[in-house]
Amino acid sequence: MPRKVILDVDPGIDDAVALAMALFDPRLEVLAVTASGGNVPPEQATANLQALVGFLDPPRLPRLGAAPTDTIRPEKPFNMHGSDGLGGIDLPQARLHGGTASEKVIWETFHAHPREVTFLALGPLTNLSRVLARDPAIVELIGEVVAAGGTAHGHGNATPVVDFNFYCDPRAARHVVREPLAKTLVPLETTGQVTFGFDLLDQLPAESSRAGALVRRMLPHAFRAYRQLLGTEGICLHDAVALVAVTNPELFDRATVAADVETGGELTAGMLVVDRRTVRQLRPNLDLLTGCDVEAVKDCILRGVATAGAGT
């Protein structure tokens, strides 16, 4: 049976790649895709999600959720994703079924499929935190949470010690990390192990397919941004790696750890703090993916994008 999932995204280039992969993966039943502010403001996140799903035209349309607009979004340290979040490719705007708040879509999906749904968070944990605050008892209905977020050793990208997703909403990250539910974090150091060079552009689906046209138009911007802003020739598709952690968990090294999230530090708000002491005061509360089979994960991403291209 396909694995039931909710994708929570702040679309972003790597979110778009992961979304294309997931919508055409026969191993997944994408029940809903919900938007949150992060890489782009909330209104742009919702518009991007609508445009992406409309453009990709998957065989089964998931429910779509609109990003909450009453959140405080911190200043971005740099913009890797272009003016529209998708590399400036100017996708045609789409008005699909939707407009329902993301947290309502998430709440209803968990209730419709109790203990069956994996929540894959590819952006800030704002939406899931709001659902848990609205209905704390819903933890009993959540199958699993897999989140792209945190840093295993304090090597951040938004600040020296904080990854971008936790930086955007530290309080939501702490809320979810502290909840008594099954959760796995795919930290920045692990997703960052998987890098692609320029040869990736030669391995993408043909532009005659919708998915091929999407990734071929977005990814050149990613290569330019990485070179200009980070000084590197390769790119990371962090959210695509997190998706592979759901579809192919056997490719990742896993450690059960005791962790919390700092919310008050002027320099460290959003930092994942792992208690590695011999005698811990914190109890183990999540699984941290500490490494991966890099070549196998890259192959999964390439095959996933190829499958999406074949489907459109």
For the stretch 268-278, pLDDT in tens is 999 999 999 98
Length of the chain: 312
Give me the sign of the Cα torsion angle 264, 81, 35, 138. Answer: negative
| DSSP state, residue 74 | P
- Give me the amino acid identity at 16: A
Total H helices, total E strands in the chain: 10, 12
d(CA 117, CA 1): 13
d(CA 227, CA 78): 13
Alpha-carbon distances of 76 from 39, 73, 137, 274, 310, rounded to whole Å: 8, 8, 34, 25, 36
Contact partners, residue 308, CB within 8 Å, separation at least 6: 20, 21, 23, 24, 56, 205, 211
The H-assigned helical ranges of 135-232 are: 164-168, 170-178, 188-191, 210-225
Q: Among all residues, which ones are annotated catalytic?
A: 238
| DSSP state, residue 75 | P
Task: Assign residue 223 the CATH number of its domain.
Answer: 3.90.245.10
pLDDT of residue 96: 66
pLDDT of residue 21: 98
Domain containing 134 equals 3-310
With a cut of 50, list the residues of the chain below it in pLDDT: none
For the stretch 35-58, pLDDT in tens is 999 999 999 999 999 999 999 999
d(CA 309, CA 211): 5
Give me the sign of the Cα torsion angle 144, 149, 155, 159. Answer: negative
- Global pTM? 0.96
Number of separate domains in the chain: 1
Task: Point out which residues pair with 159 in neighbouring strands.
Answer: 162
Residue-wise DSSP of 88-116: S--PPP---S--SBHHHHHHHHHHHSTTT
Contact partners, residue 249, CB within 8 Å, separation at least 6: none
For the stretch 205-260, pLDDT in tens is 999 999 999 999 999 999 999 999 999 999 999 999 999 999 999 999 999 999 99
